[in-house]
Structure 1
Amino acid sequence: MGEITTVNSVEHAIRLVELLAVSENGLGVSQMAQSLDLPRATVYRLLKTLAQREWVIQEDKTYRLSFRLAGLFHGVGAGAGAALAARMTPLLHRLVDKTGETAHFAALDGDRVVYLAKVDSPHPIRMFSEIGWRGPLHASGAGKVLLAGTDAAFLSRICDQGLERFTRQTIVEKEKLEEALARIREQGYALDAEELIDGLTCVAVPVMSGKHIRGALSVSGPSARLGDPEALAKILQDVVKALPLS
């Protein structure tokens, strides 16, 4: 049997992903180039390709794996995000039992919100979603909760990229988004009133660890059934209080 021919670029990309998978805080281009014994230019091109496919997130001058892997492998390889999602799953079941609607746990992933765990509503007509879905911060309940916990520079960067309109209710002006985020901080929950999908309402609350937002719990369903968002927010807040986070 002849020697199997490999594709260098694919091998380099796999090695790069494996290296990032064992990094807790992300790595810089020089660190990766040295560890992999590859030219900086090669590592940079690989990172840009992986980032374009949303496998890698750039944070300042470092890179880390995105939570997109959670969608591909249902939590395998997503590190601390997967561990936290596993802790949240029993709470999601409680939320579905209490509300009858689909429940999600989501986290911030670069400039997007990503679903790390979910439990479906028992209703035949319900929200369709999947683990690993990455969506806009400004037009979703969980996304706005997470966005409310970021600083002004991050918000400006999101707005400068352009706030895409999904429905007539989507907030696409920076000033209005800032007002909405201020209300979220004050009331402790976010409402997506058909801002992402017509006919769909979502209520979300932050999952805190000290003063830091670790993620968001949300309940989503047809607007016709989610008639009292404030009552739903109270249910979510009560469930979150039962979860001690260090």
Structure 2
Amino acid sequence: MAGHSKWANIQHRKGRQDKLRSKLFSKLAKDIAIASKLGGPDPDMNPRLRLAISNAKGQSMPKDNIQRAVDKGAGGDGADYSELRYEGFGPSGIGLIVEVSTDNTNRSAMEVRTAFSKMGGNMGETGSVAFMFDQVGKIEYGLETASEDAVMEAAIEAGADDVEHDEPNDDQWAEYEPVHTIWTARDDLGAVSSALEAVFGEAKSVNLVWKPQNELDVPDKAATIMRLVDALEDLDDVNNVYHNMEMSEAAMAELDSEE
């Protein structure tokens, strides 16, 4: 296990947070409603709902909004949503995985395909990209939670695979909230997150994510690729977008030039 800093996380690129916040709350509410419908409204008996509520709290979603989403799912709404994964390629062969929750699969497929096409990418067959990624658990705690050593020790004890520590903000990244990131095997996410919660309290987020096995450094295409990522994220049915582009200093410089 190695603790290190990985600062350039595209999910926190400056300039995107305000635009995505209302969409984030909508996504969180949908996740809660689906989980409540499928497994019941009691989070103690429904691990998926417990995870969805934990993520909503980590994003400061109001308690009333969370309860309305639970009640909505328990009342029967959310039953017609399908959870899908689309795969494709951006410029320079960058691989992308797009996770979707939708009540209209034809609409979602068309919108995702159109976004790829307009931004210079191509949709791929199922499995054409996923083999380049690993589905793993990702747990985030704010830096104020505990020291790097304390988080590392607790993560090792809990059975985590790796830990990363961001560095405190500077002026360039004032809109980014630095975190401790704990990585786990897919099947260990629940156990590790529960063990860490017993030590540090609720995490900022707990998710299964697609982590690239290797990242490609294509600084001359960074802005083009991120426009594709942004276009996909802006679709109402899209929950998450993952890619295997390395966010090197050269790539970040190109992104800054586009701001």
Q: What TM-score, normalized by structure 1, do the two folds share? A: 0.30
Task: Please state which structure has a larger fraction of its residues in helix.
Answer: 2
Q: What TM-score, normalized by structure 2, do the two folds share? A: 0.29
Q: Which has the larger radius of gyration?
A: 1
Higher relative contact order (CA 8 A, sep 6+): 2
